[in-house]
Chain A
């Protein structure tokens, strides 16, 4: 009794034969199925046996190994790409939050009708409410630093204590302001937002 091994391997062999036929021109194509061969006049008419070049299970193990390795490589790269895009979307959301908080801070600064805001007015302004309204669902820290003429911390605010960030994003803007002696100084407003 002559039996090929499984329907799956028979299908693979059939597809391989068809692919070979596509590459190398028409040749004999055989489908092996996992049923005992019972020679009857009816199936003899429909199926032809060709065991030339058909190996056993051990001979086809390299084929199985290459196919499984290829599928594994494709699946792992797809999973990695999906996680990367998911992380990228989260960072985009954080970037939008940082820009929104920065705009809220800049609009909350006391601006005179003419000229630049004063350093004293910026230090005395209460920016916590404006920031908390715009920073929803993210933690934040705000820093306003005079970068010229001399480095000096002016404002440092935060929403909470120590939280380990999963991902973070920042936005900053340079700002001209009037110093106490009439000089025009340069401030840097920096907002850092992060999600736990």
Chain B
């Protein structure tokens, strides 16, 4: 009878196959662990950036002053000193637009508002301010400064409600969109 190492028996290869299966399972476990921890590391930026939080930005933005004087030309010329609060200006502009005023009349005011918003937001974000009238008759936003936000997947938004003098309600939404490389 020949020795075991010389015998052409395939059952001895089962141990090698089991070892290979064990190695493959170890690799799979290691890959799953490292993948999970890598995802956690990507989300582990614990520094809180208030200027990237739309609700914090919207809260201080609505209560801050315009900062620079603006003149609104039209049928009635209006001079803003720069001490007016942004929420008051948005409210006045919204009700003027509701009354049929031309939005071009408020282009300077909107530029100042958007400049203030860009200053408050974190540099890596593009802000969009959209105003809706909360009633059943309105369809779509009343105005968007400066343009409507794109359908970016990782945009963040916050909103607040402004009450007008005649009982109407405005919904002001702030959308922070991550800036593309060309917008930085």
Within 8 A of B (CB), among A93-152: 94-95, 98-99, 147-149, 151
Pick from A91, A181, A185: contact of B44, CB below 8 A: A91
- Chain B: residues with Cβ within 8 Å of the partner, total of 50
Chain A, range 80-102, C-beta contacts under 8 Å to B: 80-81, 84, 88, 91-92, 94-95, 98-99
The residues of B that contact A56 with a CB separation of less than 8 Å are 4-5
Given A19-B18, A52-B9, A77-B30, A172 and B48 contact (CB-CB distance below 8 Å): yes
Q: Which residues of A contact B56 (CB under 8 A)?
A: 173-174
- Say if the beta carbon of B103 comes within 8 Å of chain A: no
Q: Contact: B67 with A66, CB < 8 Å? A: no
Interface: B80 (CB within 8 A): no
A148–B44 contact, CB under 8 A?
A: no
Closest residue on chain A to residue B65 by CB atoms: A183
* B109 smallest CB distance to A (angstroms): 15
A160: Cβ under 8 A from any B Cβ: no
Residues of A within 8 A of B92 (CB): none
A9 to B115, CA, bound (A): 76
Q: Quick one: which of B22, B41, B120 contacts A67, CB cutoff 8 A?
A: B22
- Please give me the residue from chain A that is nearest to B62 by CB atom: A176
Give chain B interface residues in 83-100, CB to chain A under 8 Å. Answer: 83, 85
Query: When the two chains form the complex, which single residue of B11, B40, B57 contacts A88, counting CB atoms closer than 8 Å?
Result: B40
A108 to B63, CA, bound (A): 22
Q: CB-nearest residue of chain B relative to A64?
A: B19
B22 surroundings in chain A (CB, below 8 A):
66-67, 70
Determine which of A16, A59, A175 lies in contact with B60 in the assembled complex, contact meaning CB atoms within 8 Å.
A175
What chain B residues lie within 8 Å of A55 (beta carbons)? 4-5, 12
Is the CB–CB distance between B68 and A149 below 8 Å? yes
> Binary interface profile of A, 48-66, with partner B (CB < 8 Å = 1, else 0)?
0001111110011011101
Contact partner, A94, options B4, B26, B46, Cβ 8 Å: B46
A149, B119: Cβ atoms closer than 8 Å: yes
Q: Does A74 contact B (CB under 8 A)?
A: yes
A67 cross-chain contacts in B, Cβ below 8 A: 19, 22-23
From known contacts A172-B51, A174-B120, infer whether A183 and B18 are also in contact, taking CB-CB under 8 Å.
Answer: no
A90 → B minimal CB distance (Å): 11
CB pair B5 A59 closer than 8 Å:
yes
Complex alpha-carbon distance, A71 and B27, angstroms: 10
Between A and B, 20 residue pairs with Cβ closer than 8 Å are A13-B15, A20-B18, A53-B12, A54-B4, A54-B5, A55-B12, A60-B15, A62-B16, A69-B26, A74-B29, A81-B33, A148-B120, A149-B68, A170-B48, A172-B48, A174-B59, A174-B60, A176-B63, A183-B82, A185-B67
Contacts A63-B16, A66-B22 known; 10 new A-B pairs at CB < 8 A: A16-B18, A19-B18, A66-B16, A70-B25, A78-B33, A92-B46, A149-B67, A176-B60, A185-B64, A186-B61
Q: Residues on A close to B: CB < 8 A?
A: 12-13, 16, 19-20, 51-56, 59-60, 62-64, 66-67, 69-71, 73-74, 76-78, 80-81, 84, 88, 91-92, 94-95, 98-99, 147-149, 151, 169-176, 179, 181-186, 188
Tell me the B residues contacting A by CB distance below 8 Å.
3-5, 7, 9-16, 18-20, 22-23, 25-27, 29-30, 33-34, 37, 40-41, 44, 46-51, 56-57, 59-61, 63-65, 67-68, 82-83, 85, 116, 119-120
Q: Which 5 A-B pairs have the closest CB atoms?
A: A53-B12, A149-B67, A51-B4, A70-B26, A66-B19
